[in-house]
Structure 1
Amino acid sequence: MGAPQHVHTADNAVPPLDPELAGLLEDLAGIHPGIDLILDGIRLLALDRHDLDATQLLTVTLAGSPDGTDVLTAIGLLVARLTNPDSNPALRTIPFDQQKEAQRAGEALVFALADPDLHQHASNACAAIDTH
């Protein structure tokens, strides 16, 4: 194991959000209170100080679980719920063929997000942080 790397912030402080993430959070703000809560969580996770164990756990929990027990999968399942007229009565006001197309698209997202290759990068990052 090598020596800890030097960071480029005063007193080893957590740096501010990079412009890309900060801009995205700003662009998504105000759409719905639930989205604002998610954005607050992302901001907290990005700006909080974490130890190595927490970093590993957060990485796998956000997007790296081989069995789909992660936030990425939860978001996909939420989209599927929102695009299903059985669980979202608002969709029942559009023609049946549009309801079915929305439902199929939401189900396709869940299927795509279940691809193990999509989760492998975060899993690899978690493994690279392993200190045991």
Structure 2
Amino acid sequence: MAGRDPHSNPVHTAGNAVPPLDTDLAGALDDLAGVHAGIDLIRDGISLLALDRHTTDSTQTLLAALAGSAGADVVTAVGHLVARLANADLNPALHGLPLDVQKTAQRHGEQAAFHLADPDLHQHASEASAAITGT
């Protein structure tokens, strides 16, 4: 391929460019700005994932890692984090609350983690991942 212009590859056309963030995703990320440095890192990660060029293989893996593998994906990890933050035994910021409020927060955090780990919640992302390879 000596002498061939590397910029003439039809894969790298304007029509094949990764589009900018859609208004729904951009708006959701904007709404989370400044909440906490950790949330800003998550926002940056989501933006990177949305705007990066992927292969079919990496897309399949990302779908599973984000929400398509109950117990081993980002949605499940967020559920565990919610349960941790809502538990006064694991979050000292809640120690000053009345015991009944602590227990109510803990119960709701545990329920959030339970529901976010529900395999039904992960089914569509899992199926989207599987559809890419036809499995």
Normalising by structure 1, we get a TM-score of 0.90
Match of 2:118 in 1: 115
Match of 2:43 in 1: 39
The partner residue of 1:20 within 24, 28, 32 is 24
Deviation per CA, 1:9-46, whole angstroms, max 9, x where unpaired? 81410000000110110110001000000000000000
Contact 2:18 2:52 in 1 (8 A): yes
Counterpart residue identity of residue 73, structure 2: D
What RMSD, in angstroms, separates the aligned Cα atoms of the two structures?
1.3
Deviation per CA, 1:70-120, whole angstroms, max 9, x where unpaired? 000000000100000011011111100000000000000111112111010
Counterpart residue identity of residue 81, structure 1: R
**Unpaired runs of at least 5, structure 2:** 1-12
**Unpaired runs of at least 5, structure 1:** 1-8
In the alignment, is residue 30 of structure 1 matched against residue 3 of structure 2? no
Normalising by structure 2, we get a TM-score of 0.88
Match of 1:88 in 2: 91
Runs of 4+ with >6 A deviation:
none
SS for the counterpart of 1:98 is helix
Separation in structure 2 between the aligned mates of residue 72 and residue 131 of structure 1, nearest angstrom: 24
Separation in structure 1 between the aligned mates of residue 55 and residue 81 of structure 2, nearest angstrom: 30
Contact 2:75 2:117 in 1 (8 A): no
1:99-114 mapped onto 2 (5 Å cutoff): 99-114=102-117
Separation in structure 2 between the aligned mates of residue 34 and residue 51 of structure 1, nearest angstrom: 28
Separation in structure 2 between the aligned mates of residue 131 and residue 109 of structure 1, nearest angstrom: 32
Q: Which has the larger radius of gyration?
A: 2
Counterpart residue identity of residue 32, structure 2: L
